[in-house]
Amino acid sequence: MNAAPGDGATYIVRGGNPISGTLKPGGNKNAALPMLASTLLGGEPVTLENVPDIRDVGAMLDLLGELGATVTAQEIGCWSVDPSTVSTQTLTSSLAGDIRASFLLAGPLLGRWGRAVLPRPGGDRIGRRPLDTHLHALIELGAEVEVLPDRYVMKAPQGLHGADIFLHEMSVMGTENAIMAAALAKGTTTIHNAASEPHVQELCRLVEKMGCPIRGIGTNVLEIEGQQDLGGATAVVGPDPIEVGSFIGLAAVTGGRLKITNAMPQLHHRMTRIGFERLGIHWENDGQDIIVPAGQTLEISEDLTGGIPKIDDGPWPAFPPDLTSIAVVLATQARGTILIHEKMFESRLFWVDRLISMGAHIVLCDPHRAVIVGPARLQGQDLASPDIRAGMALVIAALCAEGESTIHNIKQVERGYENLHERLQSLGADIERTT
Protein backbone atom coordinates (compact mmCIF):
# COMPACT_ATOMS: atom_id res chain seq x y z
CA MET A 1 0.00 0.00 0.00
CA ASN A 2 1.31 3.41 -0.94
CA ALA A 3 1.30 5.72 2.07
CA ALA A 4 1.74 8.93 0.09
CA PRO A 5 -1.40 9.56 -1.99
CA GLY A 6 -2.86 13.02 -1.52
CA ASP A 7 0.41 14.99 -1.38
CA GLY A 8 -0.19 18.32 -3.12
CA ALA A 9 -3.78 17.42 -4.00
CA THR A 10 -6.86 19.57 -3.40
CA TYR A 11 -10.63 19.19 -3.35
CA ILE A 12 -12.82 21.52 -5.42
CA VAL A 13 -16.26 21.51 -3.76
CA ARG A 14 -19.48 23.13 -4.93
CA GLY A 15 -22.12 23.19 -2.24
CA GLY A 16 -25.87 22.84 -2.39
CA ASN A 17 -26.47 19.20 -3.27
CA PRO A 18 -28.18 16.86 -0.77
CA ILE A 19 -26.10 13.85 0.22
CA SER A 20 -28.35 10.85 -0.40
CA GLY A 21 -28.09 7.14 -1.08
CA THR A 22 -26.51 4.15 0.64
CA LEU A 23 -23.10 4.10 2.30
CA LYS A 24 -21.06 1.19 3.58
CA PRO A 25 -18.62 2.54 6.19
CA GLY A 26 -14.96 1.68 5.93
CA GLY A 27 -12.98 -0.21 8.53
CA ASN A 28 -12.19 1.56 11.79
CA LYS A 29 -8.85 3.36 11.49
CA ASN A 30 -8.44 3.41 15.26
CA ALA A 31 -8.89 -0.36 15.40
CA ALA A 32 -6.88 -1.27 12.31
CA LEU A 33 -3.68 0.48 13.44
CA PRO A 34 -3.22 -1.32 16.81
CA MET A 35 -4.42 -4.60 15.27
CA LEU A 36 -1.72 -4.28 12.60
CA ALA A 37 0.88 -3.56 15.28
CA SER A 38 -0.23 -6.66 17.21
CA THR A 39 0.61 -8.89 14.24
CA LEU A 40 4.23 -8.78 15.48
CA LEU A 41 3.32 -10.59 18.71
CA GLY A 42 3.08 -14.10 17.30
CA GLY A 43 5.25 -16.41 15.26
CA GLU A 44 2.65 -17.08 12.58
CA PRO A 45 0.79 -14.97 10.00
CA VAL A 46 -2.16 -12.81 11.04
CA THR A 47 -4.83 -11.91 8.48
CA LEU A 48 -6.98 -8.81 8.86
CA GLU A 49 -10.08 -8.14 6.77
CA ASN A 50 -11.95 -4.86 6.16
CA VAL A 51 -8.74 -2.86 6.56
CA PRO A 52 -9.36 0.73 5.38
CA ASP A 53 -7.35 1.99 2.41
CA ILE A 54 -6.12 5.21 4.04
CA ARG A 55 -2.77 6.94 4.43
CA ASP A 56 -2.14 6.06 8.08
CA VAL A 57 -2.81 2.36 7.44
CA GLY A 58 -0.53 2.46 4.41
CA ALA A 59 2.20 3.98 6.56
CA MET A 60 1.80 1.28 9.22
CA LEU A 61 1.99 -1.49 6.62
CA ASP A 62 5.16 0.09 5.22
CA LEU A 63 6.66 0.27 8.73
CA LEU A 64 5.93 -3.42 9.32
CA GLY A 65 7.71 -4.15 6.05
CA GLU A 66 10.65 -1.98 7.11
CA LEU A 67 11.03 -4.15 10.21
CA GLY A 68 11.26 -7.19 7.93
CA ALA A 69 7.75 -8.60 8.30
CA THR A 70 6.26 -10.13 5.16
CA VAL A 71 3.22 -8.02 4.28
CA THR A 72 0.87 -9.43 1.63
CA ALA A 73 -2.31 -8.05 0.11
CA GLN A 74 -4.73 -10.97 -0.14
CA GLU A 75 -7.50 -8.96 -1.79
CA ILE A 76 -8.98 -5.48 -1.49
CA GLY A 77 -9.11 -4.61 2.21
CA CYS A 78 -7.49 -7.88 3.31
CA TRP A 79 -3.86 -8.01 4.48
CA SER A 80 -1.68 -10.79 5.84
CA VAL A 81 1.36 -10.05 8.01
CA ASP A 82 3.94 -12.77 8.69
CA PRO A 83 6.20 -11.65 11.58
CA SER A 84 8.55 -14.64 11.33
CA THR A 85 10.78 -12.70 8.92
CA VAL A 86 11.28 -9.63 11.15
CA SER A 87 14.98 -8.74 11.04
CA THR A 88 15.28 -5.51 13.03
CA GLN A 89 13.66 -3.73 15.95
CA THR A 90 14.82 -0.27 14.88
CA LEU A 91 12.78 2.12 12.75
CA THR A 92 14.52 4.96 10.95
CA SER A 93 11.98 5.78 8.23
CA SER A 94 10.48 9.26 8.15
CA LEU A 95 7.10 7.50 7.96
CA ALA A 96 7.45 6.66 11.65
CA GLY A 97 7.58 10.36 12.39
CA ASP A 98 4.50 11.01 10.26
CA ILE A 99 1.94 8.99 12.21
CA ARG A 100 1.40 8.79 15.93
CA ALA A 101 0.41 5.13 15.67
CA SER A 102 4.02 4.19 14.86
CA PHE A 103 4.62 4.15 18.62
CA LEU A 104 2.17 1.26 18.93
CA LEU A 105 5.03 -0.92 17.72
CA ALA A 106 6.85 -0.39 21.04
CA GLY A 107 4.82 -2.94 23.02
CA PRO A 108 5.03 -5.79 20.48
CA LEU A 109 8.73 -5.25 19.76
CA LEU A 110 9.63 -5.14 23.46
CA GLY A 111 7.47 -8.14 24.29
CA ARG A 112 8.74 -10.34 21.47
CA TRP A 113 12.36 -9.27 21.03
CA GLY A 114 13.17 -7.23 24.14
CA ARG A 115 14.18 -4.15 22.16
CA ALA A 116 12.55 -1.25 20.32
CA VAL A 117 14.11 1.90 18.86
CA LEU A 118 11.49 4.28 17.51
CA PRO A 119 11.55 7.90 16.28
CA ARG A 120 9.34 10.45 17.94
CA PRO A 121 5.90 9.90 16.42
CA GLY A 122 3.87 12.39 14.42
CA GLY A 123 0.10 12.68 13.92
CA ASP A 124 -2.47 15.43 14.26
CA ARG A 125 -1.34 18.66 15.94
CA ILE A 126 -4.37 19.07 18.15
CA GLY A 127 -2.59 19.75 21.43
CA ARG A 128 -0.08 18.18 23.79
CA ARG A 129 -0.06 14.41 23.43
CA PRO A 130 2.78 13.16 25.63
CA LEU A 131 3.85 9.52 25.66
CA ASP A 132 4.38 9.37 29.42
CA THR A 133 1.48 6.95 29.95
CA HIS A 134 2.98 4.51 27.43
CA LEU A 135 6.48 4.78 28.83
CA HIS A 136 5.53 4.44 32.50
CA ALA A 137 3.47 1.33 31.72
CA LEU A 138 6.36 -0.24 29.79
CA ILE A 139 8.78 0.62 32.62
CA GLU A 140 6.48 -1.08 35.15
CA LEU A 141 6.54 -4.16 32.93
CA GLY A 142 10.34 -4.20 33.17
CA ALA A 143 11.52 -2.10 30.24
CA GLU A 144 14.46 0.28 30.37
CA VAL A 145 13.66 3.51 28.51
CA GLU A 146 16.11 6.11 27.22
CA VAL A 147 14.55 9.30 25.87
CA LEU A 148 16.77 10.95 23.25
CA PRO A 149 16.06 14.17 21.32
CA ASP A 150 14.95 12.33 18.19
CA ARG A 151 14.06 8.81 19.33
CA TYR A 152 13.17 6.42 22.13
CA VAL A 153 15.46 3.50 22.93
CA MET A 154 13.67 0.78 24.91
CA LYS A 155 15.20 -2.45 26.15
CA ALA A 156 14.10 -5.44 28.20
CA PRO A 157 17.17 -7.72 28.18
CA GLN A 158 15.65 -10.03 30.80
CA GLY A 159 12.24 -9.94 29.16
CA LEU A 160 9.08 -8.30 30.49
CA HIS A 161 7.27 -9.38 33.65
CA GLY A 162 3.67 -9.05 34.77
CA ALA A 163 2.77 -6.04 36.87
CA ASP A 164 -0.11 -4.25 38.58
CA ILE A 165 -0.34 -1.02 36.58
CA PHE A 166 -2.43 2.09 37.19
CA LEU A 167 -2.24 4.15 34.01
CA HIS A 168 -1.52 7.86 34.50
CA GLU A 169 -4.48 8.69 32.24
CA MET A 170 -7.14 6.75 30.36
CA SER A 171 -5.02 6.81 27.20
CA VAL A 172 -6.28 4.67 24.32
CA MET A 173 -2.89 4.07 22.72
CA GLY A 174 -1.20 3.81 26.11
CA THR A 175 -3.65 1.06 27.04
CA GLU A 176 -3.07 -0.70 23.71
CA ASN A 177 0.71 -0.63 24.10
CA ALA A 178 0.42 -2.01 27.63
CA ILE A 179 -1.92 -4.80 26.46
CA MET A 180 0.44 -5.91 23.70
CA ALA A 181 3.54 -5.78 25.89
CA ALA A 182 1.78 -7.67 28.70
CA ALA A 183 0.65 -10.40 26.30
CA LEU A 184 4.25 -11.67 26.14
CA ALA A 185 5.28 -10.78 29.71
CA LYS A 186 5.97 -13.47 32.31
CA GLY A 187 2.97 -13.74 34.60
CA THR A 188 -0.25 -11.81 34.99
CA THR A 189 -0.66 -8.09 34.35
CA THR A 190 -3.55 -6.01 35.67
CA ILE A 191 -4.15 -2.65 33.99
CA HIS A 192 -6.25 -0.18 36.00
CA ASN A 193 -7.70 3.03 34.52
CA ALA A 194 -7.59 1.35 31.11
CA ALA A 195 -9.32 2.85 28.10
CA SER A 196 -12.34 0.79 27.04
CA GLU A 197 -13.24 2.17 23.59
CA PRO A 198 -14.66 -0.33 21.07
CA HIS A 199 -11.37 -0.31 19.14
CA VAL A 200 -9.49 -1.27 22.32
CA GLN A 201 -11.96 -4.14 22.68
CA GLU A 202 -11.27 -5.21 19.08
CA LEU A 203 -7.54 -5.34 19.81
CA CYS A 204 -8.17 -7.42 22.94
CA ARG A 205 -10.25 -9.94 21.00
CA LEU A 206 -7.53 -10.32 18.38
CA VAL A 207 -4.83 -10.84 21.03
CA GLU A 208 -7.11 -13.44 22.63
CA LYS A 209 -7.44 -15.23 19.28
CA MET A 210 -3.64 -15.32 19.11
CA GLY A 211 -3.61 -17.23 22.40
CA CYS A 212 -3.48 -14.70 25.26
CA PRO A 213 -6.42 -14.76 27.72
CA ILE A 214 -7.73 -11.29 28.66
CA ARG A 215 -10.37 -10.66 31.31
CA GLY A 216 -12.40 -7.47 31.72
CA ILE A 217 -12.70 -6.55 28.04
CA GLY A 218 -14.91 -3.48 27.76
CA THR A 219 -14.17 -2.36 31.33
CA ASN A 220 -11.53 -0.08 32.84
CA VAL A 221 -9.68 -2.96 34.52
CA LEU A 222 -7.98 -5.53 32.29
CA GLU A 223 -6.25 -8.71 33.43
CA ILE A 224 -3.84 -10.24 30.94
CA GLU A 225 -2.27 -13.69 31.26
CA GLY A 226 1.13 -13.35 29.62
CA GLN A 227 2.23 -16.15 27.30
CA GLN A 228 5.61 -17.41 26.19
CA ASP A 229 4.49 -17.64 22.57
CA LEU A 230 1.50 -16.52 20.54
CA GLY A 231 0.20 -17.81 17.23
CA GLY A 232 -1.59 -16.48 14.19
CA ALA A 233 -5.22 -15.50 13.77
CA THR A 234 -7.79 -13.99 11.42
CA ALA A 235 -9.95 -11.01 12.38
CA VAL A 236 -12.31 -8.52 10.77
CA VAL A 237 -11.87 -4.80 11.49
CA GLY A 238 -15.20 -3.31 12.57
CA PRO A 239 -16.90 -0.29 10.97
CA ASP A 240 -15.49 3.17 11.66
CA PRO A 241 -17.84 5.00 14.07
CA ILE A 242 -16.23 8.37 13.37
CA GLU A 243 -16.84 7.99 9.65
CA VAL A 244 -20.43 6.96 10.38
CA GLY A 245 -20.94 9.99 12.64
CA SER A 246 -19.39 12.28 10.02
CA PHE A 247 -21.77 11.07 7.30
CA ILE A 248 -24.81 11.24 9.58
CA GLY A 249 -24.06 14.91 10.14
CA LEU A 250 -23.28 15.53 6.47
CA ALA A 251 -26.60 14.07 5.32
CA ALA A 252 -28.52 16.07 7.94
CA VAL A 253 -27.03 19.48 7.08
CA THR A 254 -27.42 18.95 3.32
CA GLY A 255 -31.00 17.68 3.62
CA GLY A 256 -30.46 14.24 2.10
CA ARG A 257 -31.71 10.77 3.01
CA LEU A 258 -28.82 8.45 3.77
CA LYS A 259 -28.77 4.77 4.68
CA ILE A 260 -25.56 3.63 6.39
CA THR A 261 -25.24 -0.15 6.43
CA ASN A 262 -23.50 -2.21 9.13
CA ALA A 263 -23.09 0.85 11.35
CA MET A 264 -23.56 -1.08 14.63
CA PRO A 265 -25.59 1.77 16.19
CA GLN A 266 -26.20 0.16 19.58
CA LEU A 267 -22.47 -0.39 20.15
CA HIS A 268 -21.02 2.82 18.78
CA HIS A 269 -23.55 5.60 18.57
CA ARG A 270 -25.64 5.97 21.71
CA MET A 271 -23.74 9.00 23.04
CA THR A 272 -23.24 10.37 19.53
CA ARG A 273 -27.02 10.28 19.21
CA ILE A 274 -27.48 12.24 22.44
CA GLY A 275 -25.02 14.90 21.26
CA PHE A 276 -26.43 15.18 17.74
CA GLU A 277 -30.02 15.33 19.01
CA ARG A 278 -29.06 18.52 20.87
CA LEU A 279 -28.43 19.95 17.41
CA GLY A 280 -31.78 18.70 16.10
CA ILE A 281 -30.25 15.82 14.12
CA HIS A 282 -32.21 12.56 14.22
CA TRP A 283 -31.91 9.13 12.67
CA GLU A 284 -33.54 5.73 12.81
CA ASN A 285 -31.91 2.43 13.70
CA ASP A 286 -32.86 -0.48 11.42
CA GLY A 287 -31.06 -3.48 12.87
CA GLN A 288 -27.37 -2.82 12.26
CA ASP A 289 -28.16 -0.01 9.80
CA ILE A 290 -28.77 3.71 10.33
CA ILE A 291 -31.23 5.73 8.25
CA VAL A 292 -30.93 9.53 8.24
CA PRO A 293 -34.25 11.01 7.03
CA ALA A 294 -34.33 13.78 4.43
CA GLY A 295 -35.34 17.38 5.02
CA GLN A 296 -34.49 17.72 8.70
CA THR A 297 -34.97 21.10 10.36
CA LEU A 298 -32.04 21.58 12.70
CA GLU A 299 -32.82 23.40 15.93
CA ILE A 300 -30.71 23.33 19.08
CA SER A 301 -32.58 21.89 22.07
CA GLU A 302 -33.08 24.18 25.05
CA ASP A 303 -31.24 23.26 28.23
CA LEU A 304 -33.77 22.13 30.85
CA THR A 305 -32.14 24.30 33.52
CA GLY A 306 -32.15 27.44 31.36
CA GLY A 307 -28.44 27.54 30.58
CA ILE A 308 -26.71 27.39 27.20
CA PRO A 309 -26.88 23.79 25.94
CA LYS A 310 -23.53 22.05 25.65
CA ILE A 311 -21.78 19.21 23.87
CA ASP A 312 -18.59 18.07 25.56
CA ASP A 313 -16.31 15.13 24.84
CA GLY A 314 -14.45 12.63 26.99
CA PRO A 315 -13.15 9.06 27.15
CA TRP A 316 -15.52 6.26 26.15
CA PRO A 317 -18.47 6.10 26.55
CA ALA A 318 -18.65 9.93 26.42
CA PHE A 319 -19.13 11.91 23.20
CA PRO A 320 -16.18 10.98 20.93
CA PRO A 321 -13.39 13.59 20.76
CA ASP A 322 -12.94 12.80 17.07
CA LEU A 323 -16.48 14.06 16.40
CA THR A 324 -16.01 17.41 18.16
CA SER A 325 -14.88 19.19 14.98
CA ILE A 326 -17.81 17.67 13.11
CA ALA A 327 -20.22 18.89 15.81
CA VAL A 328 -18.88 22.44 15.44
CA VAL A 329 -19.74 22.68 11.75
CA LEU A 330 -23.11 20.99 12.28
CA ALA A 331 -23.94 23.57 14.96
CA THR A 332 -23.41 26.39 12.45
CA GLN A 333 -26.42 25.05 10.52
CA ALA A 334 -28.76 24.64 13.52
CA ARG A 335 -31.01 27.39 14.87
CA GLY A 336 -29.94 28.50 18.35
CA THR A 337 -26.85 28.81 20.51
CA ILE A 338 -24.67 26.00 21.85
CA LEU A 339 -21.35 25.60 23.66
CA ILE A 340 -18.88 23.03 22.30
CA HIS A 341 -16.41 22.05 25.03
CA GLU A 342 -13.33 20.17 23.79
CA LYS A 343 -11.96 18.73 27.03
CA MET A 344 -9.34 16.37 25.61
CA PHE A 345 -7.07 18.47 23.37
CA GLU A 346 -6.27 22.14 23.80
CA SER A 347 -5.59 22.94 20.13
CA ARG A 348 -8.39 21.07 18.41
CA LEU A 349 -10.66 24.13 18.06
CA PHE A 350 -8.08 26.50 16.58
CA TRP A 351 -9.27 25.71 13.05
CA VAL A 352 -12.65 27.47 13.54
CA ASP A 353 -11.23 30.66 12.01
CA ARG A 354 -11.77 28.90 8.66
CA LEU A 355 -15.48 28.54 9.43
CA ILE A 356 -15.67 32.17 10.55
CA SER A 357 -14.18 33.22 7.20
CA MET A 358 -17.03 31.28 5.54
CA GLY A 359 -19.61 33.26 7.52
CA ALA A 360 -20.09 31.18 10.67
CA HIS A 361 -20.97 32.94 13.93
CA ILE A 362 -18.46 31.48 16.40
CA VAL A 363 -16.84 32.88 19.54
CA LEU A 364 -13.70 30.99 20.55
CA CYS A 365 -13.79 31.51 24.32
CA ASP A 366 -10.48 29.76 25.02
CA PRO A 367 -8.53 26.83 23.54
CA HIS A 368 -11.15 24.37 24.83
CA ARG A 369 -14.50 26.12 24.31
CA ALA A 370 -16.42 27.66 21.44
CA VAL A 371 -19.91 29.17 21.37
CA ILE A 372 -21.74 28.76 18.06
CA VAL A 373 -24.83 30.74 17.02
CA GLY A 374 -26.76 29.42 14.04
CA PRO A 375 -27.91 29.06 11.45
CA ALA A 376 -25.31 30.75 9.25
CA ARG A 377 -25.25 30.97 5.46
CA LEU A 378 -21.78 29.73 4.66
CA GLN A 379 -19.93 30.96 1.57
CA GLY A 380 -17.33 29.01 -0.37
CA GLN A 381 -13.73 29.88 0.48
CA ASP A 382 -10.12 28.88 -0.14
CA LEU A 383 -9.34 26.57 2.79
CA ALA A 384 -6.62 24.27 4.15
CA SER A 385 -7.11 21.13 6.20
CA PRO A 386 -5.17 21.26 9.50
CA ASP A 387 -5.88 17.68 10.66
CA ILE A 388 -8.04 14.66 9.85
CA ARG A 389 -11.24 15.60 11.66
CA ALA A 390 -11.12 19.36 11.08
CA GLY A 391 -10.42 18.54 7.43
CA MET A 392 -13.59 16.45 7.20
CA ALA A 393 -15.50 19.21 8.99
CA LEU A 394 -14.34 21.66 6.30
CA VAL A 395 -15.52 19.26 3.59
CA ILE A 396 -18.94 19.17 5.27
CA ALA A 397 -18.96 22.97 5.53
CA ALA A 398 -18.07 23.31 1.84
CA LEU A 399 -20.83 20.88 0.84
CA CYS A 400 -23.51 22.92 2.62
CA ALA A 401 -22.06 26.31 1.61
CA GLU A 402 -23.07 28.54 -1.28
CA GLY A 403 -20.56 28.66 -4.12
CA GLU A 404 -17.23 26.95 -4.61
CA SER A 405 -14.58 26.04 -2.05
CA THR A 406 -11.04 24.82 -2.57
CA ILE A 407 -9.59 22.65 0.21
CA HIS A 408 -5.81 22.22 0.28
CA ASN A 409 -3.65 19.80 2.27
CA ILE A 410 -6.20 17.03 1.79
CA LYS A 411 -3.57 14.43 2.65
CA GLN A 412 -4.65 15.13 6.22
CA VAL A 413 -8.27 14.18 5.49
CA GLU A 414 -7.19 11.12 3.50
CA ARG A 415 -5.25 9.84 6.50
CA GLY A 416 -8.62 8.88 7.98
CA TYR A 417 -11.30 8.71 5.26
CA GLU A 418 -11.10 6.10 2.51
CA ASN A 419 -11.67 7.17 -1.14
CA LEU A 420 -13.55 10.17 0.22
CA HIS A 421 -14.20 12.15 -2.95
CA GLU A 422 -15.35 9.09 -4.93
CA ARG A 423 -17.76 8.01 -2.21
CA LEU A 424 -19.12 11.54 -1.87
CA GLN A 425 -19.62 11.73 -5.64
CA SER A 426 -21.62 8.49 -5.52
CA LEU A 427 -23.92 10.15 -2.95
CA GLY A 428 -24.54 13.23 -5.08
CA ALA A 429 -21.79 15.60 -3.97
CA ASP A 430 -20.23 18.01 -6.46
CA ILE A 431 -16.60 17.43 -5.54
CA GLU A 432 -13.43 16.98 -7.59
CA ARG A 433 -9.97 15.90 -6.57
CA THR A 434 -7.13 17.67 -8.37
CA THR A 435 -3.37 17.23 -8.19
- Please identify every residue annotated as catalytic: 124
Q: Cα(191)–Cα(204) distance, rounded to whole angstroms? A: 13
Residue among 171, 173, 183 at smallest CA distance from 141: 183
Q: Cα(60)–Cα(52) distance, rounded to whole angstroms? A: 12
* DSSP three-state, residue 147: strand
CA angle 303, 307, 310 (to 5 degrees): 65
Give bridge partners of residue 71 from the DSSP assignment: 81
What are the distances in angstroms from CA 126 to CA 198, 212, 266, 293, 350?
A: 22, 35, 29, 33, 8
Please give the full DSSP string across 271-295, using - where no structure is assigned: HHHHHHHTTT---EEETTEEEE-SS
Residue type, 245: G
Give bridge partners of residue 154 from the DSSP assignment: 116, 145
Please give the full DSSP string across 288-348, using - where no structure is assigned: TEEEE-SS---BPPPPTTSS--EEEB-STTSB-GGGHHHHHHHHTTSBEEEEEE--S-TTT
Name the phi and psi angles at 28, rounded to 5: -70, 110
Kind of pairing, strands 233-236 and 221-225? unpaired
Q: Which residues of 130-151 are buried (b: 16+ CB within 10 A; e: fewer)?
A: ebebbbbbbebbbbebeeeeeb
Residue among 200, 193, 195, 225 at smallest CA distance from 210: 225
